[in-house]
């Protein structure tokens, strides 16, 4: 997934400002490599884990290709969270961390 340079720059600022980094891949994928400081909440478990998202300033979701994170963002938006950002792939996020 590629972002406009303006969105990517803004996303990088948000990521590096104490955001809640959520990898929505499977535990097996997460174990193979992940972003330091991220938590693994697989897409299919998000409805059961909503308390973990409460009172977070910014929530960054990501996965392998950006598809599952888009679904996660859509679901969280429907639940009333207005601070969720789809960062695409976990490798994109890993490169943005300073």
Q: Which of 43, 63, 72, 96 is catalytic?
A: 63
Q: What pTM, to 2 d.p., does this model score?
A: 0.93
- The pLDDT, as a whole number, for residue 14 is 94
Label each residue of the chain as H, E or C.
Answer: CCCCHHHHHHHHHHHCCCCEEEECCCHHHHHHCCCCCCEECCHHHHHHCHHHHCCCCCEEEEECCCHHHHHHHHHHHHCCCCCEEEEEEHHHHHHHCC
> Rounded mean pLDDT of 39-62?
97
> Rounded mean pLDDT of 40-44?
98
Q: Is 10 a catalytic residue?
A: no
Confidence of residue 8 (pLDDT cuts 50, 70, 90): confident
- Go through the domains of the chain in sequence order and give each one's CATH number: 5-96 (3.40.250.10)
- The pLDDT, as a whole number, for residue 63 is 98
């Amino acid at each position: 997934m590629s972002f406009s340079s303006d969105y990517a720059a803004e996303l990088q600022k948000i990521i590096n400002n104490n955001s809640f980094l959520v990898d929505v891949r499977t535990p097996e994928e997460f174990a193979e490599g992940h972003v330091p400081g991220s938590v693994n909440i697989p897409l299919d478990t998000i409805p059961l884990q909503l308390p973990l998202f409460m009172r977070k300033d910014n929530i960054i979701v990501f996965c392998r290709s950006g598809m599952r994170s888009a679904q996660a963002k859509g679901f969280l938006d429907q639940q009333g969270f207005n601070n969720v950002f789809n960062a695409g792939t976990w490798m994109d996020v890993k490169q943005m961390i300073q």
